[in-house]
């Protein structure tokens, strides 16, 4: 039997984190599968950090990131380069993860070449096209083009079914970020040997903050910064740690409001292992990130989401996160509650609704069966139940 060639495309740091365990699981099935890793480097610096951490060397690196390129420019570059790359590699299946421009444009390129697409983390929906932007559109459009839908949770599967996706093409695997975290949490780590070694983390209750999404820029980000300034004024035992995104539109606002505030540490983006341990050591996590909404419940940390709605409502439905928006008063109120009410704090700690650490093995088994043309591809008994 000829081995099937599986191309895995990675563009950003979150894609690399979530696809790394899939790459490892597929390479363990090298008798059936030939795995080719393609990097678009949509996020060059942050992508390289993660690939290095997981010891993954892309077989092909398109290096398409350019300073301040628009979504139109990025989409065009991915389409053009992926058309040639996929034609040269000629894979039997393209695997994409998530909702980035890399994912959508690569799926279009594969569709034009009639290469089937398997979508990891399929079925996430906010049900508002422009929120988050452009991710909601990217994930919906990718679902139209995909043949294999690897949904992380039963709710994601339900979203796909409601859109008319055939049930026999949807497989609930759990989220691969739980697999990645399970591996990395066993890696020895010390803050004393990290870029933030001088921060007195052990002397404070740490609030870890990330906010950088396009829809958060402008007044919303200003409101968040003002809220953080008020929190450290009210609570002398609290330290805010804020890795500031490289986007100059983010940095300008954050630095203007928070750069000289005592007990607010504005740090450069750190590698994922350091960030993971920051999350593990945080008292509260405040974010507008999608991935952190999965990571915080995995670490059993109370999570406050700086959005109006979320495509990952599983933690919210389980009481493990709150969607608090970007009103300064609301942010201050919700953080203050968790800092003063132990019962409210403990109520936001529970079992992980996103995965059990076996998602990548489920995906690899499914792809292996696909490569051998075995049916069914996946038994419902083996699905992640949530």
Cβ atoms of 243 and 274 closer than 8 Å? no
Q: How far are the Cα atoms of 50, 71, 215, 350 from residue 66, in angstroms, in the given order?
A: 20, 11, 22, 42
Q: Is 214 a catalytic residue?
A: yes
Catalytic: which of 15, 99, 334, 365?
99
Catalytic: which of 43, 125, 212, 213?
212
CB atoms within 10 A of CB 177: 23
Q: What is the DSSP string of 245-306?
A: -S-HHHHHHHHHHHTT-TTEEEEPPPPHHHHHHHHHH-SEEEE--STHHHHHHHTT--EEE-
Catalytic: which of 119, 139, 213, 245?
245
Q: Is 245 a catalytic residue?
A: yes
- For residues 185 and 121, what is the distance between their CA atoms, to the nearest angstrom? 22
Q: How far does CA 335 lie from the centroid of its chain?
A: 23
Q: How far are the Cα atoms of 38, 55, 105, 106, 363 from residue 58, in angstroms, in the given order?
A: 6, 10, 19, 16, 20
- For residues 94 and 110, what is the distance between their CA atoms, to the nearest angstrom? 7
Cβ atoms of 356 and 174 closer than 8 Å? yes
- For residue 230, give the H/E element and its range: helix 219-234
**289: nearest Cα among 305, 273, 301, 300:** 305
What is Dmax (Cα atoms) for the chain?
A: 68
Catalytic: which of 13, 77, 119, 121?
121
Catalytic: which of 214, 251, 280, 369?
214
Residue 377: exposed, middle, or buried by beta-carbon count in 10 A (0-12, 13-18, 19+)?
middle
Q: Is 99 a catalytic residue?
A: yes
Q: Is 314 a catalytic residue?
A: no
Cβ atoms of 53 and 47 closer than 8 Å? no
Q: Is 362 a catalytic residue?
A: no
Cα dihedral value 96, 127, 145, 289, nearest 10: -10
CB neighbour burial string for 99-129, b if at least 16 within 10 angstroms, e if fewer: bbbbbbbbbbbbbeeebbbbbbbbbbbbeee
Q: Which two tokens stand for residue 138?
A: 């990217």
Q: Is 121 a catalytic residue?
A: yes
Positions annotated as catalytic residues are 99, 121, 135, 212, 214, 245
């Amino acid at each position: 039997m000829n081995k099937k060639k599986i191309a895995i495309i990675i563009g950003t740091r979150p894609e690399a984190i979530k696809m790394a365990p899939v790459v490892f699981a597929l390479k363990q099935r090298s008798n059936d599968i030939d795995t080719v890793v393609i990097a678009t480097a949509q996020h060059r610096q942050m992508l390289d950090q993660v690939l290095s951490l997981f010891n993954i060397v892309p077989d092909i690196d398109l290096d398409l990131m350019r300073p301040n390129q628009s979504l139109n420019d990025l989409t065009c570059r991915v389409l053009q380069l992926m058309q040639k790359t996929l034609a040269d590699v000629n894979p039997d299946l393209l695997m994409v993860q998530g909702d980035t421009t890399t994912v959508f444009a690569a799926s279009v390129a594969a569709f034009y070449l009639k290469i089937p697409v398997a979508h990891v983390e399929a079925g996430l929906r906010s049900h508002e096209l422009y929120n988050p932007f452009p991710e909601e559109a990217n994930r919906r459009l990718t679902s139209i083009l995909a043949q294999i839908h690897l949904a992380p949770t039963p709710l994601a599967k339900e979203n796909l079914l409601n859109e008319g996706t055939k049930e026999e093409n949807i497989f609930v695997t759990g989220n691969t970020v739980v697999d990645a975290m399970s591996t990395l949490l066993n890696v020895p780590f010390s803050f004393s040997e990290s870029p933030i070694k001088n921060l007195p983390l052990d002397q404070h209750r740490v609030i870890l903050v990330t906010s950088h999404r396009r829809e958060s820029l402008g007044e919303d980000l200003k409101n968040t910064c003002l809220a953080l300034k008020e929190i450290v004024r009210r609570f002398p035992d609290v330290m805010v740690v804020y890795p500031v995104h490289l986007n100059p539109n983010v940095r300008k606002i954050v630095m203007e409001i928070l750069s000289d505030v005592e007990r607010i540490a504005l740090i450069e983006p750190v590698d994922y292992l350091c960030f993971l341990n920051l999350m593990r050591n945080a008292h509260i996590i405040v974010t507008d990130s999608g991935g952190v909404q999965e990571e915080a419940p995995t670490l059993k940390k109370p999570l406050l989401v700086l959005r109006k709605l979320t495509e990952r409502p599983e933690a919210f439905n389980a009481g493990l996160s709150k969607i608090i928006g970007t009103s300064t008063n609301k942010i201050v109120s919700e953080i203050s509650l968790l800092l003063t009410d132990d019962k409210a704090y403990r109520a936001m700690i529970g079992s992980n609704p996103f995965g059990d650490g076996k998602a990548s093995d489920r995906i690899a088994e499914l792809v292996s069966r696909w490569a051998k043309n075995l049916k069914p591809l996946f038994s419902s008994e083996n699905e992640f139940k949530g």
